[in-house]
Structure 1
Amino acid sequence: MKKIIFLILISFSSFAQKDKNELTETINTFFEGLNKKDTSLLSRVIHEDCSLNTVLIKADNNSELKKEEIANFLKSIGSIPAGMKIEERILSIELMQDEALASAWVPYEFYVNDKFSHKGTNLITLVKTNDFWKITAIIDTRKK
């Protein structure tokens, strides 16, 4: 009996680690696509119904919510001039998961042409469909 319980625990742990690896890979692919300005790479990991929102933190600590359509986001990334370098540096990824639903807390710093622009945190929601994790929502904070 102990052997069966042990095998079940190992199997559960293996599945959990596999999902964690896949979630991390999906998130890393998103930021790789962003940093490379590669909309086809971004599109691979973004769900077609993905929602994008930003909470702008103002100097007086008030905030403003901005919504962006996924098509406009991809168009804006694709239209960044070749000579302009953007880089969103991920500081950490904290994952939470329940079956086919997951979220990631992802603090970052953003640079344009190697110059600091802003920092904040991404809250990313992911759903597993057809054995693939897709990003269904991103809300981030932006502050100087």
Structure 2
Amino acid sequence: MNQPLTSLLLVGVLTAATPVAHAQKASPETAAVQQTVTAFFDGMRRGDSTMVRRTLAPGAVFHGFGGKPGQPPKLEIESINGFLKAVGTPHAEVWDERVQFEHTLVDANLASVWAPYEFYLGSKFSHCGYDSFQLVKLADGWKIAHIIDTRRKEKCK
């Protein structure tokens, strides 16, 4: 191969690889935001409502968006205290929500996480959708201020 062509190919390969390498390295703030979301789900899997509560900002709000097949979707406000009680009440199957961090955006003390998920009761698939988290950075770190999600049983990954 001639020298100019080899150099051009090398530059092309290095240029193409740079965004991939950059995308794989999360900033410390992005990692801290994702760790808060991970701790939320780790607490849920363990049935540890105290662990889950520690990830929440005062006044946090939960919404669910979905509906039954054949009916229009509806927005539902979920009780945080009811959710925490349900998490902490012993149940036969582990509540295992498996999220992937598709997009995490951070600006100063505000963050947004967009995460597709699959939810399992023990090893049995239940439903899937997307979680959207809004987090705020308080004196004691990143806390979840709002969660909204979609829920469906079809068209999952």
Gapped runs of 5+ residues in structure 2? 1-25
CA distance in 2 between counterparts of 1:85 and 1:135 reads: 22
Structure 1 residue aligned with 2:131, among 119, 122, 132? 122
Match of 1:62, SS?
A: coil
TM-score normalised over the length of structure 2: 0.76
Structure 2 residue aligned with 1:52: 62
Q: Which has the higher strand share?
A: 1
Structure 1 residue aligned with 2:45, among 26, 35, 44? 35
* CA RMSD in angstroms, aligned pairs only: 1.6
CA positional deviation for 1:92: 3.0
Structure 2 residue aligned with 1:67, among 77, 91, 113? 77
The size of the alignment, in residue pairs, is 128
Q: What stretches of structure 1 move > 3 A for 4+ residues in a row?
A: none
CA distance in 2 between counterparts of 1:135 and 1:38 reads: 17
CA distance in 1 between counterparts of 2:38 and 2:94 reads: 18
TM-score normalised over the length of structure 1: 0.82
Query: Is the alpha carbon distance of 1:61 and 1:96 closer, same or farther for their aligned partners in structure 2, counting shifts above 3 Å?
Result: farther
- Flag the structure with larger Rg: 2
Q: Give per-residue Cα distances to partners, 1:111-136, cap 9 Å, x unaligned.
A: 11211110010000000011500000
Gapped runs of 5+ residues in structure 1? 1-15
CA positional deviation for 1:20: 1.0
Instruction: Give the percent of matched residue pairs that are identical in Structure 1 and Structure 2.
Output: 35
